Structure 1
Amino acid sequence: MEAYANALLYAIPFFSILVIVEIAYGYFVKNQTHNVNDTVSSISSGLTSIIKDSLGLAVILISYPFLVENLALFNVSETWYAYLLAFIAIDFASYWNHRLSHKINFFWNQHVIHHSSEEFNLACALRQSISNILGYFPLLLIPAALIGIPFKIIAILSPIHLFAQFWYHTKHIGKLGFLEYIIVTPSQHRVHHAINPEYIDKNLAAVFCVWDRIFGTFQEELDEVPPVFGVLKPAATWNPILINFQHLWRLIKDAWRTNSYYDKLRIWFMPTGWRPKDVSKKYPVTIIENVYQFEKYNTETSISLQIWSIIQMIITIFLMLFLFYNFGNILETGGFPMILLYGAIVFIGIYSYTSLLDTYKYTIVFELVKLTLGLFAILFFKDWFGLNSYFYYGNMVMGMYFVASFLATIYFSFVERKFVTSKAITI
């Protein structure tokens, strides 16, 4: 976990800079693909996923070291071709993992967050799951295990493979000629994120588009069919934590409500979107029928609230960077429970300020919990997770932040009442 945290210490600023560059470029060419609420939601989603992964909050069905130890037919040394074979194996596994996520009800829940944005930009790439708590990916790496690819190589390449999928989430890059036949490009991935009937469940590859061409899931971006982004059952919230579990909650309710015991069991493994007949009739769910005429989710938020949400997001990024920079020291002094407490404070903070963008009237409850946990950490440990050793007034600054955040939430929740209604934008 500490090695992963160290990698993120560099990845987060890099991704943040690229998002800022894209926003600036969109501004100067008068083709902005970002809006404040959506981008704050996307980046905040990335932060929740990062902290979940750094905490290792998943149940691993079977580990890759176990597979390679028991299945390896060869002994592969750490050479350049071993890294090449490993990267191809990871990409092949990623294709099938992605395809499962699009085709099976239960697995769609862990991927829907990535498609939930109704915009398409680099920030949208950061919408990663916190609901993927069942770790089965090593099973898809059996080909690598059979070859005997060492775990060290897989561990090094896995984050690189994930980070390599960031750049093509943009509308500012057109088709790339011969590269369209080799790698996944922005044009191909725009198709993947689109909800047009022609594009649904297409272009599932991560790095090499050859898998889509081999297995029949490739679709070129058509000039006459402009991609429309989002999901057919819109998330209708800026809160990434809620989005992560919306589909799962619908499955739970359907499994509970159906009278068929067979349907209660099979709903989890049926194709994405399948519902028992008795439930779908009695409890209909709104689905977008015409992708060219629907209301994008938006909320009337004041400029001051938007600025405040950006400030909250930036502070959260710095809190994350401090966690990763000080990860080893926190573990050494307080153990894993302190890391969990830190993560809980960040999670609740994100839940709070993204709910504020939704004009959710009970946001103050979550902000109060964050204030309580934050002040508890300061008063009980006499230090904010070691911040005082780097900054003498660390405790005071953090205490002031928690109080200011609480007071600001009161203001935006109960004083600025003029933006409490939703506003729809037709595309």
Structure 2
Amino acid sequence: MEAYANALLYAIPFFSILVIVEIAYGYFVKHQTHTVNDTISSISSGLTSIVKDSLGLAVILISYPFLLEHLALFSIAETWYTYLLAFLAIDFASYWNHRLSHKINFFWNQHVIHHSSEEFNLACALRQSISNILGYFPLLLIPAALLGIPYKIIAILTPIHLFAQFWYHTKHIGKLGVLEYIIVTPSQHRVHHAINPEYIDKNLAAVFCVWDRMFGTFQEELDEVPPVYGVLKPAATWNPILINFQHVWRLIQDAWHTKSYYDKLRIWFMPTGWRPKDVRDTYPVKIIENVYAVEKYNTKTSTSLQIWSAFQLIFTIVLMLFLFYNFGTILKSYGYGMMVLYGMIVFVGIYSYTSLLDHYKYTIIFESIKLVLGLFVLVSTSDWYGLNTYFSFGSVLMATYFITSFLATIYFSFAEKMWVSSRKLAT
């Protein structure tokens, strides 16, 4: 966990800078691919994912070291070609993991967050899952285990492989000639994120597009078919935590409502979108039929609320960087339970300020929970996870933030209603 946290200490600023560069570029070329609310939601989703991953909040069904110990047919030395083989094995496994996520109802829930944005930009690359609590990916690395590829190499290359998928989430790069036959490009990935009938469930590869060409899932971006982004059952919220569990909640409801015990069981393993007939008729769910008539989700929010939400996002990023910079020290001094509490405060905070963008009337409840948890840490430890070591007023700073955040949430909960009402009267 600590090694992953150290990697994120550098990855978070790097990705944030690239998102800012893309926003600036879009502004100067007058082709902006970002909206304030959507970008805040996307980056916030990334923060929830790295909190979950860095704290190890998942159940690993089987580990790669176990597979390596029991399945390895060879013993391979650590050379450059071992790294190449390992990267190819990870990419191959990623393709099939991705394909499962698109084809099986239960697995789609762990991936839907990544497709939930109705925009396509570098920020949407950060929409990563917190609902993938069952770690089965090592099973897809059996080829690597059979070859005897050391765990150390897999551990080094896995985050690099993930980070390598960031750059092609953009509209600002066209087709790349001969590279279109070798690697996944922005053009290919625009197809993957599209819900057009011609594009859906295509281009599932992560780094090398050869897998799509081999297994029949490749689709070129067509000039006459502009991609439309999102999911066929729109998320209709800026709250990334809600988006993570929307699909599984629908599955739970369908499994509960169907009268067939057979359907209660098989719904989880049926193709994505499958529903029992009795439930489908009785509890219809709206699905996009004409992708070109889609009206994007857009809550009317004042500039002041957008600025406040952007501040909340930036402050949350700072909190995460502080956690990762002091990961080992905090774990040793405060214990794993208090680190999980740190993660909970971040989660509840994100839930609160993204729900405020949705005009969710119960946002104040979650902000109250954040206030209570934050003050509990400050009172019980007389510090904020060692912040006083850097600033003598660290505890005061954090207490001020929690109280200010609480009061601002109350203000915006009422002020936004008045602002929206005044806008309606003006029109």
TM-score under structure 1 length normalisation: 0.98
Give yes or no for contact 1:299–1:419 (8 Å, CA) kept in 2.
no
Q: Distance in 1 between matches of 2:115 and 2:418?
A: 30
Q: Please state if 1:216 is matched with 2:216.
A: yes
Deviations 1:113-162 (A, max 9, x none): 00000000000000000000000000000000000000000000000000
Question: Which residue does 1:204 correspond to in 2?
Answer: 204
Structure 1 residues 420 and 278, CA gap change in structure 2 (3 angstroms): farther
Q: Distance in 2 between matches of 1:334 and 1:47?
A: 22
Letter in 2 for 1:280: R
Secondary structure of residue in 2 paired with 1:52: helix
Q: Calculate the aligned-residue CA RMSD, in Å.
A: 0.9
Question: Which residue does 1:380 correspond to in 2?
Answer: 380
Give yes or no for contact 1:95–1:211 (8 Å, CA) kept in 2.
yes
Report the number of matched residues.
422
Alignment of 1:391-406 (within 5 A): 391-406=391-406
Question: Which residue does 1:352 correspond to in 2?
Answer: 352
Structure 1 residues 52 and 84, CA gap change in structure 2 (3 angstroms): same
Letter in 2 for 1:171: K
Deviations 1:259-310 (A, max 9, x none): 0000000000000000000000000000001000021101000000000000
- Runs of 4+ displaced beyond 4 Å: none
Q: Please state if 1:407 is matched with 2:379.
A: no
Give yes or no for contact 2:267–2:275 (8 Å, CA) kept in 1.
yes
Alignment of 1:258-407 (within 5 A): 258-407=258-407
Question: Which residue does 2:169 correspond to in 1?
Answer: 169
Question: Which residue does 1:126 correspond to in 2?
Answer: 126
Letter in 1 for 2:296: K
Deviation at 1:420, TM superposition (A): 5.4
Q: Distance in 2 between matches of 1:168 and 1:395?
A: 41
Secondary structure of residue in 2 paired with 1:320: helix
Give yes or no for contact 1:232–1:288 (8 Å, CA) kept in 2.
yes
Deviations 1:77-123 (A, max 9, x none): 11100000000000000000000000000000000000000000000
Give yes or no for contact 2:301–2:416 (8 Å, CA) kept in 1.
no
Deviation at 1:190, TM superposition (A): 0.1
Q: Distance in 1 between matches of 2:265 and 2:419?
A: 43
Deviations 1:169-204 (A, max 9, x none): 000000000000000000000000000000000000
Alignment of 1:58-73 (within 5 A): 58-73=58-73
Q: Distance in 2 between matches of 1:418 and 1:224?
A: 44
Letter in 2 for 1:317: I
Question: Which residue does 1:105 correspond to in 2?
Answer: 105
Letter in 1 for 2:287: I
Q: Distance in 2 between matches of 1:54 and 1:420?
A: 39
Q: Distance in 2 between matches of 1:144 and 1:220?
A: 30
412-421 or 75-84: bigger deviation: 412-421
Deviation at 1:416, TM superposition (A): 2.8
Question: Which residue does 2:142 correspond to in 1?
Answer: 142
Secondary structure of residue in 2 paired with 1:76: coil
For structure 2, the residue ranges without an aligned partner over 5 or more in a row are: none
Q: Distance in 1 between matches of 2:232 and 2:415?
A: 35
Deviations 1:24-51 (A, max 9, x none): 0000000000000000000000000000
Letter in 1 for 2:397: V
Q: Distance in 1 between matches of 2:87 and 2:25?
A: 32
Deviation at 1:391, TM superposition (A): 1.2
Question: Which residue does 1:86 correspond to in 2?
Answer: 86
Deviations 1:383-407 (A, max 9, x none): 0000000111100000000000000
Give yes or no for contact 2:233–2:288 (8 Å, CA) kept in 1.
yes
Give yes or no for contact 1:387–1:395 (8 Å, CA) kept in 2.
yes
Question: Which residue does 1:151 correspond to in 2?
Answer: 151
For structure 1, the residue ranges without an aligned partner over 5 or more in a row are: none
Question: Which residue does 1:75 correspond to in 2?
Answer: 75
Q: Identity rate of aligned residues, in percent? A: 83
Give yes or no for contact 1:93–1:140 (8 Å, CA) kept in 2.
yes
